[in-house]
Structure 1
Amino acid sequence: MELGLDKQHLIALAHYRMPFGKYKGRYLVNLPEPYLVWFNQKGFPTRRLGEMLRSMHEIKVNGLETLILKIQKEFPVNKP
């Protein structure tokens, strides 16, 4: 399966936080896998959030969370 993820998308994904709900403020990589599986079954939200959750679901299902954690460390967010 080809994910088609580029470098900038992976960096953005590594730093994307859940904007609402019980897990508001958590990095998507820190969401429980069953939560992402639920979204996969019920349908992902539209737009960027849905794209990010779908990508994170694929990453977690394939056991690649360490890749995202490494990206978080190597490419920190620059805040003004």
Structure 2
Amino acid sequence: MESTPEQLVRQAARNALAIGDAAQRAKAITAFMDAIKAVSPELKATRRKDVALLRENHSYRKVGELIGVSHTRVQQIERSE
């Protein structure tokens, strides 16, 4: 069975946290956090575009159900908040 993106991120975090040496653990955590920060704008932009596509055919409530957030959060995503 293929891992979900969420599972992969959580596993990467657990791997960094499991490093025994404090300096190496801190370095790995910093690299992990930097990597997430670097891709965050692209992830947010893609999610906003996907929400816009879904909104062409669905209500805020339905889009919220489809992506696992509240209808209020869908509105916020659409406004890039």
Bigger Cα Rg:
2
TM-score of the two chains, using structure 2 as the length reference: 0.29
**Structure richer in helix, relative to its length:** 2
